[in-house]
Amino acid sequence: GLPQDLAGRHVVVSAGGTREPLDPVRYLGNRSSGKQGYALARTAAARGARVTLVAGNTELPDPAGVDVIHIGTAGQLRESVLKAAADADAVVMAAAVADFRPAVYAPGKIKKQEGQEPEPVTLVRNPDILAELSADRARPGRLVVGFAAETDDVLANGRAKLARKGCDLLVVNEVGEHKAFGSAENEAVILATDGTETPVPYGPKEALADTLWDLVAPRLAGPGR
């Protein structure tokens, strides 16, 4: 049978992409399918965890036996993750959170004006939820895991990001036209603050999820409740 090494644990997983509205009918979005985060939620539940899945845009059905909270924007994702994280043993940020949002939300649909160029869209930064969770060590023993999708210098950028974000583990993968986003397969290296680097060969997103929980479980503080 499956190891029940997450029994008595509460884990929070974010998944999918956020959408930042420009007006009532338009948004800035990204290509995240949510598949990796959903695989993490399913595998954690199978290993005995109580799972809260905070889901951005995705076409996937809610996994059985998991508490699913559907959100739209990065701001909503932040609110739901921070609330669920209050009593969590681990938080895994697999969501593709928009780094920027339109500075202004137009309450009415933006219209094209005859003979006029469109107005430029000004963007502002969204809060970095992963960095915020990592900086908040008020609740000792809560493990924080991030994801990094890189197109070049994958390992070097990953190592720098692990240090910059301050999380405990970072799953680094290379993204490209046929890699990671939307696909059912993934290939990655999982970096830990203790210097260990665990390569995960190309394979189903479930396999990567199980390898991540293999690394998370022994790092959790105290016994499960």
Binding residues for CTP: 99, 109, 127-130, 147, 161, 165
Tell me which residue of 65, 77, 210, 54 sits closest to 200, measured CA to CA: 210
Which tokens is 148 given?
Answer: 């990094």
Does residue 130 belong to the site contacting ligand C5P (CB under 6 A)? yes
DSSP β-ladder status, 50-55 and 143-150: unpaired
- The least distance separating ligand C5P from the CB of residue 181, rounded to whole angstroms, comes to 13
- Does the active-site annotation cover 57? no
The reply on whether position 136 binds ligand C5P by CB under 6 A is no
148: left (phi over 0), alpha (psi -120 to 50) or beta: beta
What residue numbers does the annotated binding site cover?
99, 109, 127-130, 147, 161, 165
Residue selected from 71, 84, 91, 97 as contacting ligand C5P according to rule CB under 6 A: 97
For residue 56, which of 77, 28, 82, 80 has the smallest C-alpha distance?
77
Shortest Cβ 194–ligand C5P spacing (Å): 19
Q: How far apart are the first and last CA of the chain?
A: 22
CA–CA gap between residue 155 and residue 47 (Å, rounded): 29
Q: How far is CA 148 from CA 70, 82, 171, in A?
A: 22, 20, 6
Among 16, 34, 37, 146, binds ligand C5P (CB under 6 A): 146
Question: Does 144 engage in binding with ligand C5P (CB under 6 A)?
Answer: no
Q: Can residue 169 be called a binding residue for ligand C5P (CB under 6 A)?
A: no
Q: How far is the CB of 142 from ligand C5P (least distance, A)?
A: 15
Does residue 168 bind ligand C5P (CB under 6 A)? no
Among 39, 45, 148, 212, binds ligand C5P (CB under 6 A): 148
| Contacts for 199 with CB less than 8 Å, ≥ 6 apart | 188, 189
The pairing of beta strand 67-70 with beta strand 169-174: unpaired
* AA identity, residue 191: L
Residue choice 6, 40, 129, 209 for contact with ligand C5P (CB under 6 A)? 129
Query: Is residue 208 a contact residue for ligand C5P (CB under 6 A)?
Result: no
Q: Kindly tell me which residue out of 31, 87, 99, 105 binds ligand C5P, with binding defined by CB under 6 A.
A: 99
209 binds ligand C5P (CB under 6 A): no
Q: How many helices (H) and strands (E) does the chain have?
A: 5, 12
Catalytic annotation, residues = 30
In the complex, the residues that contact ligand C5P under the rule CB under 6 A are: 74, 93, 95, 97, 99, 126, 128-130, 146-148
